[in-house]
Amino acid sequence: MIPSFALLFVSGLVQFVAAKDVYLQWDVTWVNAAPDSYERPVIGINNEWPCPQVDVDVGDRLIVDVTNSLGNQSTAIHWHGIHQYTSGTMDGASDVSQCPIPPGSTIRYNFTLDQAGTYWYHSHNMGQYPDGLRGPLIVHDPSPPFEWDDEFTVTLTDWYHQEMPELLDQYESTDNAQSNAGDEPVPDVALINDSTQSQFKVQPGKTYLVRFICVGNWPGHAFLFDDHEMTVVEIDGVWVEPYPVGERNIRIAPGQRMSVLIKTKDDASKNYAFWDTIDINMMFVYENKPIPEHYNPNATAWLVYDESLPLPPPPVINEFDFIDDLSFVPYDRTPLLEPVDHQIILNTGHTTINGISRFTINGRTYMPQQVPTLYTALTIGPKYYNNPAVYGDVNPIILKHNDVVEIVINNYHNNLHPWHLHGHQFQVLQRTNVDGGFFNGYYANVSSTPVIRDTIMVQNNGHAVIRFRADNPGVWLLHCHIEWHVEAGFVVTIIEAPDQFQNMYRSKDHIRICDAYGSPSSGNAAGKQGTNLQGANNYIYPGDSGASYPPPTFP
């Protein structure tokens, strides 16, 4: 018999050996694809689309060399949900933690994955990802709290036949604000796994972990498997107490993930439909627009037991009874963070600036600056890094190290918004229904172990209250994950403990990207010293050319 200390030593060693470097070489390229039989150019990786799923294990280091071979657009890759503890320069948000990568340039992302769960990567550059540059990032847990035989990933998205630069230009035009209430372009179809024909092959009598990722641009999704019970076990990278969905319904919004366990039938005598729909309330009802005749928000895929058997139509759903995601309980029962050291109230809304539709936070719209905000924090010096003025019009909020921070998001807009925080998962203390009213200091029935996630849907004329500890020094965006709204300025910049990250690693290739793009990489928002912000971006011009390169020049 082996003494127990030897066993411990062996398993410790195995884990150490298992942590590995995963190298990927990504050439970002245009590809022609027809996910719904309409062919158009999409943005893929290594001449393929859909973009590949990345599978790694907890503890691995991911090293991705990204070359921009698009020719006519810049790019940047964000690793959605990954905290980037001590590696904030690898967060991949352009104008925040790096400059946009111009065509012909290469940048290396290099960071460790210390969180298990379902994540994704996507372009975080000027409204680009809905043209296709996004994919799953799965960090496997060596000892998950649940058992399953096999697993698969299902991405859900809205899809457009036109490319983003064209749609954005129209969306951010004075004409759209005047004649269309500033409304968003309407998606052409919904896609399941980037197709309208997806078939998920399964075997009878097995338990599957199905990882859902909403990689969409705008509406939320509701979905179900015909006659297969789903039990929710993970939300945004957090294992939760098993939650059988039963006759009720679940939905996810852009940026959110949800894993469920399903048990397949004991025999393979039939195939079953999977039904998904994009939210017509968000796209039409709340915007006071009629639903166009023949508009189809639904998509179908199949659980295929036997390829020789027919693919049945989806079930008809007459009514939804959504589970409130505040009902989920983190598996490790992390207690409520308290007391609060720093409370921030964000009043979020919609307005028109210079005749253009814009979103505002406490009355201000976000405008990307010439120097990435993290680079300003790293180069402006201790006299200024706590002064919000040097960061320009990026809605800066400065946090103190290790404070328990509470953010209240009041939604004064007549539609739903999925708010996503980089660098953290947060506890959600409360979230109202539609028309649930604004925060008045009253906390209703807060759980002692609140749900923890990184993206929360905030409902119209309602609010949400979130908490996290400021224990990850860096610069992190908090934004509505609807890509139209990011471009329309629905973004806050969290500058977390600048005194604690002054020696954060900045690789030379990242600084060279700024030179190649023609942007300054040091100084305040305008690339100058101190509070001289002459030349900073502080004016909203009509139109938006998305990630088009070369970028437009303004007077």
Other beta carbons within 10 angstroms of residue 13's beta carbon come to: 10
Q: Minimum distance from CB of 102 to ligand NAG (Å)?
A: 14
Q: What residues between 353 and 412 interact with ligand NAG by CB under 6 A?
A: none
Return d(Cα 217, Cα 160) in angstroms, integer: 10
Nearer to ligand NAG, 9 or 152 (CB): 152
The footprint of ligand NAG on this chain (CB under 6 A) covers a number of residues equal to 29
Closest C-alpha to 221, from 317, 304, 123 = 317
Binding status of residue 162 toward ligand NAG by CB under 6 A: no
Q: Minimum distance from CB of 106 to ligand NAG (Å)?
A: 13
Q: What residues between 297 and 356 interact with ligand NAG by CB under 6 A?
A: 298, 316-317, 327
The helix (run of H) or strand (run of E) holding residue 352 is: strand 342-353
Q: Is 44 exposed, middle or buried (0-12, 13-18, 19+ CB in 10 A)?
A: buried
How far is CA 498 from each of CA 84, 431, 478, 487, rounded to the nearest angstrom?
Answer: 15, 30, 17, 26
Nearer to ligand NAG, 37 or 534 (CB): 37
Q: Minimum distance from CB of 204 to ligand NAG (Å)?
A: 18
How would DSSP label each residue in 386-415?
T-GGGG-SS-EEEE-TT-EEEEEEEE-SSS
Sequence-separated (6 or more) residues with CB below 8 Å from residue 179: none
Q: Minimum distance from CB of 351 to ligand NAG (Å)?
A: 28
The helix (run of H) or strand (run of E) holding residue 238 is: strand 238-244
Return d(Cα 282, Cα 291) in angstroms, integer: 11
Bridge partners (DSSP) listed for residue 301: 274
Q: Minimum distance from CB of 318 to ligand NAG (Å)?
A: 7
Binding status of residue 72 toward ligand NAG by CB under 6 A: yes
Q: Give the Cα-Cα-Cα angle 24, 473, 89 (nearest 5 degrees).
A: 30
Among 29, 68, 73, 373, binds ligand NAG (CB under 6 A): 73
Among 106, 110, 180, 347, binds ligand NAG (CB under 6 A): 110
Backbone dihedral region for residue 28 (phi beyond 0: left; psi -120 to 50: alpha; all else: beta): beta
Q: Minimum distance from CB of 285 to ligand NAG (Å)?
A: 15
Q: What residues between 266 and 295 interact with ligand NAG by CB under 6 A?
A: 277
Q: What residues between 467 and 496 interact with ligand NAG by CB under 6 A?
A: none
Nearer to ligand NAG, 198 or 460 (CB): 198
Closest C-alpha to 105, from 541, 514, 554, 521 = 514
Return the DSSP state at 94: B
Closest C-alpha to 447, from 282, 357, 528, 328 = 328
Name residue 155's amino acid: T
Contact 420, 478 (CB under 8 A): yes
Return d(Cα 167, Cα 172) in angstroms, integer: 9
Bridge partners (DSSP) listed for residue 40: 33
Return d(Cα 498, Cα 184) in angstroms, integer: 36
Pairing state of beta strands 396-399 and 491-496?
parallel
Q: Minimum distance from CB of 311 to ligand NAG (Å)?
A: 13
Binding status of residue 200 toward ligand NAG by CB under 6 A: yes
Nearer to ligand NAG, 50 or 523 (CB): 50
Q: Minimum distance from CB of 74 to ligand NAG (Å)?
A: 10
Binding status of residue 216 toward ligand NAG by CB under 6 A: no
Among 41, 436, 543, 551, binds ligand NAG (CB under 6 A): 41
The stretch near ligand NAG (CB under 6 A) out of 198-206, 215-223, 496-504, 516-524 is 198-206
Binding status of residue 203 toward ligand NAG by CB under 6 A: no
Q: Minimum distance from CB of 143 to ligand NAG (Å)?
A: 24
Binding status of residue 132 toward ligand NAG by CB under 6 A: no
Among 22, 31, 63, 511, binds ligand NAG (CB under 6 A): 63
Binding status of residue 447 toward ligand NAG by CB under 6 A: yes
The whole-angstrom distance between residue 490's C-alpha and the CA centroid of its chain comes to: 14
Nearer to ligand NAG, 247 or 382 (CB): 247
The stretch near ligand NAG (CB under 6 A) out of 197-205, 219-227, 335-343, 416-424 is 197-205
Instruction: List interacting residues with ligand NAG (CB under 6 A).
Output: 30, 41, 50, 53, 63, 72-73, 108, 110, 135-136, 153, 155, 163, 165, 193, 198-200, 277, 296, 298, 316-317, 327, 445, 447, 505, 548
